[in-house]
Chain A
Amino acid sequence: MAEQNFAPMSRRSLFRMIGMAAGSAVMYQAMTDLGYAGESGYTGPTKLSGDVKGASVVVLGAGLAGLTAALELHNAGYKVQVLEYQHKAGGRNISIRGGDTVNELGGFKQQCQFDSGFYVNPGPMRIPYHHIALLDYCKRLNVPLEPFSIINYNAMIHNSKAFGGKAKRYREVETDFRGHISELLAKVTAQGKLDQAVSKEDAEVLLQALRAYGALDRNYEYKKGALVSNHRGYNVDPGGGLSWQPTDSDPMAMSELLQSRLWTGLLTGHEYEYQMTMFQPVGGMDMISAGFVRALPPDMIKYNCKVTEVKQDANGVTVSYVDAQKGGAVQTATANWCVNTIPATILSQVPMQIGAPLKNAINSLSYSAGFKAGVQMKRRWWEDDERIYGGITYTDQPVALISYPSTQFMQTQKGVVLGAYTFGPHAFELTSMSPEERMKVVVDCGAAIHPQYRTEFENGVSVGWHRMPWTLGCFAQWSEANRAKNYDALCAIDGRMVLAGEHASHLGAWQEGAIVSALDAIKRLHQRVVAA
């Protein structure tokens, strides 16, 4: 105790003291000042106060970054115009429904055949509970959310080279892995091999903990039995009357489990960005951009505008654009300021009057490959046959995972599963295929886990993100070294223009990153306007 008084004060104990002395609101303010609270730095609805002196802003791109900037600048009194390449808003905040056309570069065209009411989210599909800016906008814009199931103990983990290619249930892998490592650790603890690391008193508690945590028997062994079945599930489940005698399931042997690599499928849902509770908008991810569009004055967004050049001088910005479909005559839009949210892959091809630091930063970014496919099934066999209600199955095959719908359990005859969500080499390869070739891979991989794919597959739609005409990839790949070198320059105001978007955030590849980057950019821009 006495020692603690002399120890340097940790940030945490400092906060505790401030909290006790001044109440939690002050503590929260102190925490955010020190960059501690909330991963994204969001501290509540943006208030841009002060006279904007009739200033105008042109926003390039109507993804979530552009929409956020447009809404808040409009609310603050700016004259706002948005130029967007596509015929609709949202950018990567997108859902595909029956009747929608997916146009990929190279002339690959898919007409989604889903029945009405079904959709797939080919871009973002899940929202962490700590993405508070995005959640706040959903609340403000009346976008209803529902849970997205990230972990399902009854979903599968599959490796084509393990257990004869037969998938195991998440609960089996999870319990067995927990049990075996607990047994191992209990063994060395009991043998006194941890004496250097733990005191005798701690070792006693550790043994108790391992026994409970690992479902070990009284000899600290992880073994088939009622206790273990209570965690990993039964061979025959308990039932009523005389006919349903429960029988225990057989744990996997440790070596086989380790070598199978199935444990890799346990990790995702434990990471901060994937912890439960996760959310999705009811009816499709693009309900978020639809909410923004509802909140904006009609005609603020000009669609089908392909930005081709940005010029600026001491007074303002001139943006050149052409009709995205027909090309033709160059048109211009002028404003005092510009918020530019066009993805860096495209921006590096747009001539702009900007300084070398920003140019180098934009040029330093390429986007990761990513691939997703939605598959409509004639019936919800994953529920009816396998009792899988939402959640994700992982596999070592090219499709990487299968995500079952988190909603409408048992309510519809048909259903749409996400049949592929993959990065890296597999994503490059699947992107390189025609839509028909891709769907064959998706069905083959699915059938290796669920034979029902063969009979119940109805139709599907896929997106190879490098073929999306308006992003040329999934999201910006920042190496630590490049971030140290170029990130600040990417975000800095250059003359009359500031960049925003997922790529200009520390939350890359998340919608939250697009939103908080826009809020930060317009806050800095606004400071200049009112100070001028």
Chain B
Amino acid sequence: MKSAFVVMGSALLLGLSVSSGAYAQGAGAGGGRGGFTEQGGEAIFKNVCQGCHMPDAKGAVGAGMYPALAKNPKLEVAGYPVSVVVNGQKAMPALGGMFSDQQVADVVNYIRTHFGNNYKDKVTPADVKATRP
């Protein structure tokens, strides 16, 4: 219990974003970086999202599953993916603390216009900002 604070303290010193109690095993040194540095929707998708949603955005199934982003009608209302990326949902971690408004807008716009999705309206950084808690 107490150590959580100590570890958070050192995480703060390292400039990590302290968004959770995930430092129990994460206390390292120097190796941390607060946020994602990728710019542009494609780069963000390939370096971050495809870890779970897979390179073809078709998701995957094991003991549980990761939903497909490809041809996903839930992406029609742009506010939904923005909210899920920023605030998380169930197994999907809240990534808002590691992305700028621009990065979230870029990756949502990328996903909504690729992988068989074709939604023309664009998300702006201001939309993302309004979604933050």
Interface residues of B in 27-60 (CB under 8 A from A): 27-37, 46-52, 54-55, 60
Shortest distance from the beta carbon of A373 to any chain B beta carbon, whole Å: 14
Contact of B73 with A by CB under 8 A: no
What is the bound-complex CA distance between A407 and B55, given in angstroms? 39
Contacts of B90 on A, CB cut-off 8 Å?
345, 348-349, 363, 365-366
Contact B3 A271 (CB under 8 A): yes
In angstroms, Cα B24 to Cα A506, docked, is 11
Query: Which chain A residues in 412-432 approach chain B with CB under 8 Å?
Result: 421-426, 428-429, 431-432
**CB contact between A368 and one of B14, B26, B48, B54 (< 8 Å): that residue:** B26
Min CB–CB distance A358 → chain B (angstroms): 14
The reply to whether A271 and B6 contact each other, CB–CB distance below 8 Å, is yes
Question: When the two chains form the complex, which single residue of A271, A370, A394, A424 contacts B7, counting CB atoms closer than 8 Å?
Answer: A271
Q: B51 near A428 (CB under 8 angstroms)?
A: yes
Contact A425 B35 (CB under 8 A): yes
Report the minimum CB–CB distance from B50 to chain A (whole Å): 5
| A396 and B30 contact, CB distance less than 8 A | yes
Complexed CA–CA distance, A401 and B46 (Å): 24
Q: How far is the CB of B36 from chain A (nearest CB, A)?
A: 5
Q: Hey, which chain A residues are within 8 Å of B94, CB to CB?
A: 366
Q: How far is the CB of A368 from chain B (nearest CB, A)?
A: 4
* Complex A-B, nearest 7 residue pairs according to Cβ-Cβ distance, in ascending order: A469-B62, A400-B31, A346-B64, A509-B24, A477-B20, A431-B51, A345-B91
Q: Mark B109-133, 1 if CB is under 8 A from A, else 0.
A: 0000000000000000000000000
- Which B residues contact A (CB, under 8 angstroms)? 1-3, 6-7, 10, 13-14, 16, 19-37, 46-52, 54-55, 60-66, 88, 90-94, 98
* A-B contacts besides A272-B3, A396-B31, 18 pairs, CB < 8 Å: A106-B60, A264-B30, A271-B7, A345-B90, A349-B65, A365-B91, A368-B26, A395-B30, A421-B28, A423-B23, A431-B52, A432-B46, A432-B50, A467-B60, A469-B63, A470-B63, A477-B22, A479-B20
What residues of chain B lie closer than 8 Å to A39, measured between beta carbons?
Answer: 1
- How many angstroms from the CA of A369 to the CA of B36 in the assembled complex? 13
A157, A274, A324, A348: which contacts B63 (Cβ < 8 A)? A324
A367 touches B91 (CB 8 A): yes
In whole angstroms, what is the CA distance A474 to B24 when docked?
11
Chain A, 443-456, contact with B by CB distance < 8 Å: what is the 0/1 string? 00000000000000
Beta-carbon contacts under 8 Å, A69-103 to B? 85
CB contacts (< 8 Å) of B26 on chain A: these are 368, 423-424
Q: How far is the CA of A60 from the CA of B88 in the complex (A)?
A: 26
Note all chain B residues with C-beta closer than 8 A to A268.
27-29
Binding site for B on A (CB under 8 A): 39, 85, 105-106, 157-159, 261-262, 264-268, 271-274, 306, 324, 342, 344-346, 348-350, 363, 365-370, 394-401, 421-426, 428-429, 431-432, 464, 466-470, 472-475, 477-480, 483, 506-510
Q: What are 17 of the A-B contact pairs (CB < 8 Å)? A: A264-B10, A271-B10, A324-B63, A350-B64, A366-B91, A366-B92, A368-B20, A400-B28, A401-B28, A423-B23, A425-B33, A470-B62, A470-B63, A472-B64, A473-B93, A474-B22, A478-B20
A477 with B93: CB separation less than 8 A: yes
Q: A470 — which chain B residues lie within 8 A by C-beta?
A: 62-63
Give chain A residues whose Cβ lies under 8 Å from the Cβ of B29. 157, 264-268, 394
Q: Is the CB of B64 within 8 A of A428?
A: no
User: Among the listed A399, A472, A478, which residue makes an inter-chain contact with B21, where contact means beta carbons less than 8 Å apart?
Assistant: A478
Query: Shortest beta-carbon distance, A467 to chain B, in Å?
Result: 7
CB <8 Å contact, A429 and B24: no
How distant is B8 from chain A, measured CB to nearest CB, in Å?
Answer: 9
Residue on A with the closest CB to B88? A366
- Closest chain-B Cβ to A425's Cβ sits at a distance in Å of 5
List of A residues within 8 angstroms of B51 by Cβ: 369, 428-429, 431-432, 464, 466-467
